[in-house]
Amino acid sequence: MWSDAMMKFYRRYPVVLARGEGVTVYDEEGRSYFDFLAGIGVSSLGHNHPRVRTAIEESMSLLHTSNWYWNRPAMSLAEKLSRIAEGMEVFFCNSGTEANEAGLKLLRRFGSERGRFHVISMLGGFHGRTMGAMALTPTPQYRDPFRPLPDGFSAVAYNDLAALESELQKTQAAGVVLEPIQGESGVVMAKPGYLRQVSELCHAYDALFMVDAVQTGMGRTGTWFGFEHESGVSPDVITLAKGLAAGVPVGAVLARPTVADALRPGEHGTTFGGNPLATSVAMVVVAWLEQGGLDHVKRVGKVLEDQLEAIKSRHPESVGEVRGRGLMWGMVLNLANTRVVQRCLDRGLLVNAAGGNVLRLLPPLVVEQEDIIAAMAVLEQSLAEVEGEG
Ligand SMILES: Cc1ncc(COP(=O)(O)O)c(C=O)c1O
């Protein structure tokens, strides 16, 4: 199954996915799988969505323009996102790591005019694989082989406000970066009140507050960006990618105009960012979320939560905690999460082993109640099978 022509960066499962329809994907042998990973939170409208198909077909006459010229889909998407983010300005790129790289350049550039450059991030956070994003990502396995990294970064414990305050005092930081829910390290939730308090601390210490909403954004948790569940959270910069264009590569940075103005023409850019193909499809996602999608995520998210809690209550020895929001869920296991993932795959369900021995579920946002019930039956059978293996 393995192609010798590809670099061996991934430990892939021996499955070749060939097509998809709704929340189901099919391999080359025709076996079907409930896709409760959605390409790691990307395929927000599932597979082969008719409106995505139409947007792609209509983009065929002009796939790319470069940023020397304007194009209507990018202009419309920027207007929409700006309105949703209460007047923030938008920069388009092509992935989450690039969005964070651009966000970091905004923090540094804005800070440089005030003699500040240090950036504080959170232990357990994940922000991508480019050098700046790795400097923000303190987990040694992701970054230690690539030292030396860019200078001027430190990390404090997530949910520890006192640690953040003392680091802000010590470093005169230009900015603080965090995820509203830490995805890769196992769906780790911010404590109630924490995001608002971080936001207030940043503003009290003249540091910018950057929210990495790459995984939590675009409806994943039932709101636009994943931090609005609590009032008073007021970021200066927000980064997006993953589900923004339902599977077409895209990223975006939103920033308050005063922060956005810190980067001057020529100081940042990208060839592909904001192309008509990606931005047309992103408009379909935004329209779906506006036209009832956010409420749908909250409604079916509750179904998923109830199902996971029920599995936990029937398997108290194997399941520790169930945590998440909307359609982003983690189940802390006392059995090896990788074994459960493998059994789920064998039985036709795609889920993911995240950090902290967590089973992570990120189904397409269009998932329906009956899909959830059927998929969770597969999950429970797989869990029971691993329990039986001892
Ligand atoms: C919170 C967060 N930020 C950034 C990234 C990096 O995104 P990409 O893989 O598109 O570069 C990820 C990817 O998992 C993520 O979860």
Mark whether 255 and 371 lie in a shared domain: no
Mark whether 173 and 261 lie in a shared domain: yes
* Count: domains in the chain: 2
Count of CB atoms situated within 10 Å of the CB of 83: 10
How high is the pLDDT of residue 95? 98
Active site residues: 126, 212, 242
How high is the pLDDT of residue 3? 80
Mark whether 344 and 220 lie in a shared domain: no
Mark whether 298 and 356 lie in a shared domain: yes
Taking the centre of ligand 1 as the mean of its atom positions, its distance from the CA of residue 194, in whole angstroms, is: 22
Tens digit of pLDDT for each residue in 186-202? 999 999 999 999 999 99
Tens digit of pLDDT for each residue in 280-292? 999 999 999 999 9
Q: Considering only CA atoms, which of 275, 322, 328 is closest in space to residue 298?
A: 328
**Rounded to an integer, what distance in angstroms lies between the CA atom of residue 232 and that of residue 86?**
14
Can you state the percent helix, strand and coil of the chain, rounding each to 5? 40, 20, 40
Start-to-end C-alpha separation, the chain: 30
**Rounded to an integer, what distance in angstroms lies between the CA atom of residue 131 and that of residue 133?**
6
Mark whether 281 and 143 lie in a shared domain: yes
Mark whether 57 and 44 lie in a shared domain: no
Does 203 reside within a domain? Answer: yes
Task: Tell me: pLDDT of 1 over 70.
Answer: no
Residue pair 280/337 in contact (Cβ under 8 Å)? The answer is no
> Any residues with Cβ below 6 Å from ligand 1, and which?
40, 95-97, 100, 126-128, 179, 183-184, 212, 214-215, 241
Mark whether 96 and 29 lie in a shared domain: no
Mean pLDDT of 129-138: 98
How high is the pLDDT of residue 65? 97
Residue pair 289/224 in contact (Cβ under 8 Å)? The answer is yes
Tell which one of 242, 248, 272, 328 to mutate to probe ligand 1, the residue whose CB is within 8 A of the most ligand atoms: 242
Tell which one of 215, 244, 250 to mutate to probe ligand 1, the residue whose CB is within 8 A of the most ligand atoms: 215
Chosen domain end from 242, 262, 288: 288
The enclosing domain of 85 has a CATH number of 3.40.640.10
Mark whether 128 and 198 lie in a shared domain: yes
Surface-to-core class of residue 79, CB atoms within 10 Å of its CB (0-12 exposed, 13-18 middle, 19+ buried): exposed
Tell me the sheet residues that pair with 92: 252
Three-state DSSP class for residue 206: coil
Does 9 reside within a domain? Answer: no
pTM: 0.98
Taking the centre of ligand 1 as the mean of its atom positions, its distance from the CA of residue 149, in whole angstroms, is: 18
Task: Tell me: pLDDT of 159 over 60.
Answer: yes
Length of the chain: 390
How high is the pLDDT of residue 4? 86
Mark whether 35 and 130 lie in a shared domain: no
Tens digit of pLDDT for each residue in 9-41? 999 999 999 999 999 999 999 999 999 999 999
Taking the centre of ligand 1 as the mean of its atom positions, its distance from the CA of residue 132, in whole angstroms, is: 13
Chosen domain end from 288, 314, 343: 288
Angle between helix axes 72-84 and 276-288 (nearest 10 degrees) is: 40
Q: Which residue, by CA, sits nearest to atom 16 of ligand 1? A: 215
Residues of the chain above pLDDT 70, percent: 99
Taking the centre of ligand 1 as the mean of its atom positions, its distance from the CA of residue 294, in whole angstroms, is: 22
Range of the domain at 378: 17-49+293-389
Task: Tell me: pLDDT of 2 over 70.
Answer: no
Does 2 reside within a domain? Answer: no
Tell which one of 214, 244, 270, 352 to mutate to probe ligand 1, the residue whose CB is within 8 A of the most ligand atoms: 214
Chosen domain end from 235, 261, 288: 288
Q: pLDDT category, 231, cuts 50, 70, 90?
A: very high
